[in-house]
Amino acid sequence: MKKLSPRFIFSFLSLVLFAASLQAQTISADYFVGTWNVKAFGLPDGDKDLIIQFEKKDGKLSGGFVDPATKKVINPFTRVDLASNKLTANFIAPEQQMDVYLTLEKKDDTNVTGSIMDMFHMEGTKAK
């Protein structure tokens, strides 16, 4: 029987550890489910406080922007995608009637960072 070389063993263990670290970085859609209080900075009309809500139906994320007064979704997302640790949600901007996207990434258990159209920084906290 042949002996395994130390180089092979090291390479194999490195690959296993790398795969495990990638899997640990991937978050589930359940992380985003709920209501988020988000602030968008530097928008053309100034900084804006937003309430964003996500829900999971049939294994897919959906949601939209919430009206603070009625607590109902007023501008639903047209598409929500989750890849690795980054959520992308598309919506129609009411003022310009154009397709816009935002991204959110997990910062820690209750905080996210992101951007609108990769131009306007956002920070948010999960509502309790």
Tokens of 15: 């690959």
CATH number of the domain encompassing residue 39: 2.40.128
Residue 93 lies in a domain: yes
Residue 15 lies in a domain: no
Summarize pLDDT for 69-93 with one digit per residue, the tens: 999 999 999 999 998 789 999 999 8
Residue 4 lies in a domain: no
Residue 64: domain span: 29-126
User: How many Å apart are CA 42 and CA 116, to the nearest integer?
Assistant: 10
Residue 24 lies in a domain: no
**Quick one: 128 exposed, middle or buried, by C-beta within 10 A (0-12, 13-18, 19+)?**
exposed
Residue 80: which of 44, 46, 56 has the closest Cα? Answer: 56
pLDDT higher at 24 or 100: 100
User: How many Å apart are CA 87 and CA 96, to the nearest integer?
Assistant: 23
Maximal C-alpha separation, the chain = 74
Summarize pLDDT for 107-121 with one digit per residue, the tens: 999 999 999 999 999
* Domain count across the chain: 1
